[in-house]
Amino acid sequence: MKRRVVVTGVGMVTPLGHDAESTWTALREGRSGVGFIQDFPTDKLRSDVASMVKDYDARAFLSNKEADIYGRVVPFSLGAAIEALRMAGLDHPKAEDEVPRPGGTRLPVDPSRIGCFMSTGQGAVDIFEQQILKSAERGPRAVSPFFIPAVMLNIVSALVSMRYGFMGPSYNIASACATGTHSVATGTLMIEAGEADVMVVGGSEAATRLNTVAGFGNARALGRSIDGDPAKTSRPFDKKRTGFVMGEGAGALVLEAEESALKRGVKPIATIAGFGMTSDGEHLTRPHSEGVGLRLAVERALARAGIGPGDVGYINPHATSTTQGDIAEYAALHEVFGDRLATIPISATKSMLGHLLGGAGGVEAAVTALSLRDQVVHPSINVDELDDAFKLDLVRQERRVDLSYALKVSAGFGGHNCALVLGRA
């Protein structure tokens, strides 16, 4: 029999707040984190908006040199991981041990049984831009020797494991916009399979730079401000949706074997009851028009959780606000839930935060865990006119719910799908 996995901590660094609680409050209030891009001219770009983290100070856990070497993605991700570990009662850095390890740790869980998948899809794109420019201007010998560790996608999993002396499985899982969700699913699998007792998992991204905005824009994936208002751009399921908003930030969860949490007296926030992971096997960027792969992922997640579609009381969808993506996702969900889909509360975190790419699944899974903890779901904003193609119970204002199981769905470029079923603790 597989081990039960619970969530004992969450952390977030987002455009709406520098921690989980402030982000969660802002989401419940229906606030948007989207603004005009200020860091570079947008007149030749296909998008003029982004959802940016403002004034984040990483000096509590990064030296000035480290802050200089690493891209924006690192402090966001590390900050979210540290917050999640603090909530879980596991924030005991190795450097603060009074007696050297082994034997000296204050960690209440064997560090060789703790691993980390703090993943990113794109990594430090700002450092790529910076170092390539440096090479072009001053020649290849001016490229920093820290360029490689700074841009490797596993940098944060490495930094977390080094900070705490975690010696369990740690690496990066990349599946574009499903990165964070796949990290939660695979972390759950690690604990279920007995490879670890605790996994710090989630995702982060900071691809709000000139060339990544250009690339996504030229792929016709991004939206522009509407009526001069950047906050109106991200509008999943609305008739006037045109594309997603590039976002940045990070979301982390501490997953733990239930018996480990019980043993040390930590109250779980939620459970990870099931997951499903599939691929479309069809197209590089376009989702399957009927959402076949995504439907299969949801069905597998429900089966693994041992529940039926009738048990799901809330859906946190992928919902990027692209024309095709929302249609494919609706098709997948309708196939699973039938006409009952129209009665299940659903709200898109991306309507307020934009699309955090590799960070989206981490933040949205953490948000879903908090929905289960507080028995409250946040609204979806900007649905001025629900697209005729959809029959949905879109949550327009924060709503109290009696929630036993929630579904979190993600899909990424490459045709990668991942669904999670989270349960009430």
Partner 1 sequence: MSENKDLLVLFKNVAARIDKRGFDHVTRESVITELGIDSLSMMQIVGEMESELGVMIPDEDLVEIRTVGDLVRKVEARSAA
Residues of this chain that bind partner 1 (CB under 8 A): 63-65, 67-68, 138-139, 141-146, 149
Q: Which of 261, 246, 235 is nearest to 90 (CA)?
A: 261
**Which position among 18, 92, 177, 288 bears the catalytic label?**
177
Is 418 a residue of the active site? no
Residue 6: beta bridge partners? 256, 271
**Residue 12 to residue 204: CA distance in whole angstroms:** 9
CA-based nearest residue to 332, from 288, 364, 302, 368:
288
Query: In this complex, which beta carbon is closest to partner 1, that of residue 162 or of residue 386?
Result: 162
Q: Choose between 128 and 216: whose C-beta lies nearer to partner 1.
A: 128
- As given in the structure block, the two tokens for residue 337 are 């839930």
- Closest CB to partner 1 among 21 and 68? 68
Residue 66 C-beta: closest distance to partner 1, Å: 9
- Selecting among 355, 378, 416, 418, the annotated active-site residue is 355
- The most distant pair of C-alpha atoms in the chain lies apart, rounded to whole Å, by 64
177 as an active site residue: the answer is yes
DSSP result, 236-277: TTBTT---B-EEEEEEEEEEEEHHHHHHTTPPPSEEEEEEEE
We find the least distance from the C-beta atom of residue 324 to partner 1, in angstroms, to be 45
**Annotated catalytic residue within 92, 182, 288, 318:** 318
Report the residue number, 38 or 64, with the smaller CB distance to partner 1: 64
Q: Which is nearer to partner 1, 133 or 342 (CB)?
A: 133
Taking the complex as a whole, the smallest distance from the CB of residue 97 to partner 1 amounts, in Å, to 21
Q: How far is the CB of 124 from partner 1 (least distance, A)?
A: 16
Closest by CA to 178, choosing from 390, 420, 423, 421, is 420
Helices 20-28, 73-87: crossing angle, 10 deg rounding: 100
How many CB atoms within 10 Å of residue 384? Answer: 11
Active site includes 283? no
Query: Would you call 138 helix, strand, or coil by DSSP?
Result: helix
Helix (H, G, I), strand (E, B) or coil at 392: coil
In the complex, least distance from residue 312 CB atom to partner 1, rounded to whole angstroms: 50
Catalytic residue annotation = 177, 318, 355
